[in-house]
Structure 1
Amino acid sequence: MSALRHTGMPISQLVTRARAGDGDAWRELVDRHNAVVWAVVRAHRLREADADDVVQNTWIALAQHIAGLRRPDRLPAWLATTARRECLRVLRGSRREVLADTVEITEDPPEFHACGEPLLWEALRQLPQRCRELLSLFVHAPDLTYVQVARALGIKVDSIRRTRGRCLDQLRHKLAVMGGDPR
């Protein structure tokens, strides 16, 4: 177990220590922020192998660019933006591929989300991608500011609150139609 885990050390301090090669600081950064990366990746509905590659490439990108981070306190937004760009790169590349097998669509919620609320996860799957991305970031990275979320998703800061409200309304409506509890 990392010596730094759950210390509440500020992100900027962890980044400084990771830059210096502190393995415990790296593990703490990954432990704290891997959920942000996975939230972005899941929202893009990549194949499992591609999703794994995107997560790995996002962390590799951080290792390559950590020395140049100007605002270490904005690391979660940097990671989300990097993961989003990597997802889009993979999706652009996959358009050129011809898949021999059919894509397997699982009906079960991801293991990470298994909470006994299958209607909720089904309703979430039916939302537009923008809504899935936005709501995933708010759930998995509640410490992100609206500015960081806007940068990560490539949308205007002023539209975050309205978009989030519309997405939640759509989710409630889908749940109600499906016979679930819209609360």
Structure 2
Amino acid sequence: MSHDLDLLDETAWRGLVDRFGFRMWAVARACGLDTTDAADAVQAAWLRLVEKLDTIRDPERIGAWLVTTTRHEAGRIRRKRAGHQLTGLVPDVPATDGDPVARMLSDDDGRRLWAAIGTLGEPCRTLLRLIVTVPEVTYAQLARRMEMPIGSVGPTRLRCLRRVRALLGEDGR
């Protein structure tokens, strides 16, 4: 394998789980999943990593990849549970149910993220708020809500995320 990180090594796997597992769990819970569904989303994300191992181009970004994949898996599970219907653009706010990781994410990281997003102008502020709070929203729904061409949603999202990353620093800290 050409990657610096040999993911087939048990020590490397443990390191990944230790480093990113809590964050993945918190993302799944923040998407409104109960404990069982959150565990399924996190497990599915790890499975996707194994399946896509040969396509990982930048091992330095594996944490972001895992979080994004967890978010996608959580959205898939939520859509399946909700019968594939988006009920609105106002999210259900998940309870932390005593989950210290979810509470930490929503308290510390959440404050920093929302503060950074709050400093952005439009359309970034609204677009990112919708993407973060309604992970299952489609580009078509965003385009209608934001009154922009569907082909502009992705590039606009990318520019907005770059601005947030710049505000939070390269590593988001």
Report the CA distance shift for 1:96/1:155 in structure 2 as closer, same or farther (over 3 A): same
The runs of 5 or more residues in structure 1 that have no matched partner are 1-11, 98-104, 134-153, 166-183
TM-score (norm 1): 0.50
Query: Which residue number in structure 1 is paired with residue 57 of structure 2?
Result: 70
8 Å contact kept, 2:25–2:39: no
For 1:125-136, list aligned pairs within 5 A.
130=131
Report the CA distance shift for 1:88/1:108 in structure 2 as closer, same or farther (over 3 A): closer
TM-score (norm 2): 0.53
Deviation per residue, 1:6-48 (Å, 9 max, x gap): xxxxxx522xx12xx2111111111111133123212201111
Identity %: 31
The runs of 5 or more residues in structure 2 that have no matched partner are 85-93, 115-128, 135-154, 168-173
Q: Number of residues paired by the alignment? A: 119
For 1:13-162, list aligned pairs within 5 A.
13-14=4-5, 17-18=6-7, 21-96=8-83, 106=95, 109-112=98-101, 130=131, 156-160=157-161, 161=163
**2-side partners of 1:56 and 1:43: how far apart?**
16
What do you get for the CA RMSD once the two structures are aligned? 3.9
Report the CA distance shift for 1:94/1:113 in structure 2 as closer, same or farther (over 3 A): closer
What letter corresponds to residue 45 of structure 1 in structure 2?
G
* Greater C-alpha radius of gyration: 1
Runs of 4+ aligned residues of structure 1 deviating over 6 Å after TM superposition are 162-165
What letter corresponds to residue 158 of structure 1 in structure 2?
R
Report the CA distance shift for 1:162/1:82 in structure 2 as closer, same or farther (over 3 A): closer
Following TM superposition, by how much is the alpha carbon of 1:66 offset from its aligned partner in structure 2, in angstroms? Answer: 1.1
Following TM superposition, by how much is the alpha carbon of 1:84 offset from its aligned partner in structure 2, in angstroms? Answer: 1.3
Following TM superposition, by how much is the alpha carbon of 1:58 offset from its aligned partner in structure 2, in angstroms? Answer: 0.7
**2-side partners of 1:90 and 1:26: how far apart?**
25
**2-side partners of 1:164 and 1:34: how far apart?**
25
